[in-house]
C-alpha cells in the first residue's frame, strides 16, 4: 500500500521484513567475511528451537595459530601438507565449538556452503537436527557425497535456502523486464568496473524493487567486491535480497528508487 498522504507511517507493523531463514543465513554470510581464506570464505550460524543464536563460526586456522603461519593455498594431488586442508577448521565445526558448552542438540545449522564429511560427523554427534545451506558447489566430490550419506543416515533434515524461500513465497520470482542487468557473479568474476551502487540501480529499475533493498544490495555487493567473495556466496546473497525485494513489491510498502 502507498504511504498515507499526510506522510505519516502506517499504523500497523511492517510487512517487508526479513524472514527467519533469511535473517540467520544473513548472519552466516556476515560471519564468512571474517575468514582469512583468500579462496573460499564460509560462515555458519546455529540457532536453537527458540530461534536464539547459540553459535557462530567461520573457516580458519585453530585458535592460537597465526594467520600467516600455515599455508592458505589449495593444491594438486600429492601436495596435501602444503595446502590449507589439513589445518583449517571448518565454519560449521567452529560454530559448534563456539556455542556455550557445545549444547546444540535439536538446533538448526545455517551454513553458506554445504558441510563436508568431517563437519557432518560433528553435526550428527552434536545432535543438530537440521542443516540449511546456501551453496552446494562441491556436491560431486567424494567428501560431500559421504557428507550427505552421514546426514541422511543420522536423521538430520537438509534443505537449501532456495528451497525454503521458494516454499515461503510460493515460488514467486520478480517479473521479467526488458532492461538487461549484470549479475554480481559476472561482475566479480570478470573484475568489471560496475559499482555496487550502479548495479543496485539497474536491478531496481528492471524489477521495481524498493529503496530499502537497494541499500542491502549496495552493502552486500560492496562487501563482496572488497572481500573477493566467491561466486556462489554472491549468488546466495543476491537470492536473499531478491526474496526481500519480492516481498516488498507484493506488499506495496516500499518507496520508489530515485
Taking alpha carbons only, the member of 195, 213, 218 closest to residue 22 is 213
Instruction: Calculate the CA 225 to chain-centre distance.
Output: 15
Model confidence at 205: pLDDT above 50: no
The residue behind cell 516488498 is: 248
SS (H, E, C) 175-243: CCCCCCCCCHHHHHHHCCCCCHHHHHHHHHHHHCCCHHHHHHHHHHHHHHHHHCCCHHHHHHHHHHHHH
Ordered by start, the domain boundaries in the chain are 20-168, 184-251
7 pLDDT exceeds 90?
Answer: no
Q: Per-residue pLDDT tens for 131-183?
A: 999 999 999 999 999 999 999 999 999 999 888 888 766 654 443 333 333 44
CATH topology of domain 20-168: Cytidine Deaminase; domain 2 (3.40.140)
**Bridge-based pairing state of the strands 130-135 and 157-160:** parallel
With 0.85 as the threshold, say if the pTM is over it.
no
Residue 102 CB partners (closer than 8 Å, separation 6+): 96, 126
Task: Please give the distance of CA 254 from its chain centroid, rounded to a whole number.
Answer: 24
Phi/psi at 67 (nearest 5 deg)? -65, -20
Amino acid at each position: 500500500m502507498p504511504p498515507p498522504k499526510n506522510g505519516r507511517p502506517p499504523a500497523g507493523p511492517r510487512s517487508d521484513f526479513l524472514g527467519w531463514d533469511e535473517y540467520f543465513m544473513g548472519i552466516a554470510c556476515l560471519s564468512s567475511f571474517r575468514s582469512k581464506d583468500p579462496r573460499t570464505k564460509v560462515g555458519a550460524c546455529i540457532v536453537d528451537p527458540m530461534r536464539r543464536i547459540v553459535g557462530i563460526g567461520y573457516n580458519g586456522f585453530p585458535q592460537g595459530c597465526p594467520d600467516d603461519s600455515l599455508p592458505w593455498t589449495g593444491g594438486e594431488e600429492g601436495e596435501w601438507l602444503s595446502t590449507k586442508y589439513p589445518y583449517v577448521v571448518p565454519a560449521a565445526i567452529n560454530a559448534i565449538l563456539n556455542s556455550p558448552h557445545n549444547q546444540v542438540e535439536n538446533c538448526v545449522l545455517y551454513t553458506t556452503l554445504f558441510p563436508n564429511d568431517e563437519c557432518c560427523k560433528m553435526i550428527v554427534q552434536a545432535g543438530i537436527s537440521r542443516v540449511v545451506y546456501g551453496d552446494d558447489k562441491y556436491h560431486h566430490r567424494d567428501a560431500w557425497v559421504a557428507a550427505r550419506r552421514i546426514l541422511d543416515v543420522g536423521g538430520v533434515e537438509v534443505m537449501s535456502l532456495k528451497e525454503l524461500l521458494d516454499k515461503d513465497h510460493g515460488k514467486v520470482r520478480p517479473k521479467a523486464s526488458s532492461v538487461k542487468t549484470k549479475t554480481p557473479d559476472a561482475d566479480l568474476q570478470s573484475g568489471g568496473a560496475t559499482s555496487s551502487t550502479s548495479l543496485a540501480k539497474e536491478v531496481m529499475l528492471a524489477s521495481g524493487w524498493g529503496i530499502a533493498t537497494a541499500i542491502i544490495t549496495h552493502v552486500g555487493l560492496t562487501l563482496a567486491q572488497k572481500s573477493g567473495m566467491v561466486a556462489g556466496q554472491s549468488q546466495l546473497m543476491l537470492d536473499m535480497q531478491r526474496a526481500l525485494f519480492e516481498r516488498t513489491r507484493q506488499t506495496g510498502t516500499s518507496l520508489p528508487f530515485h
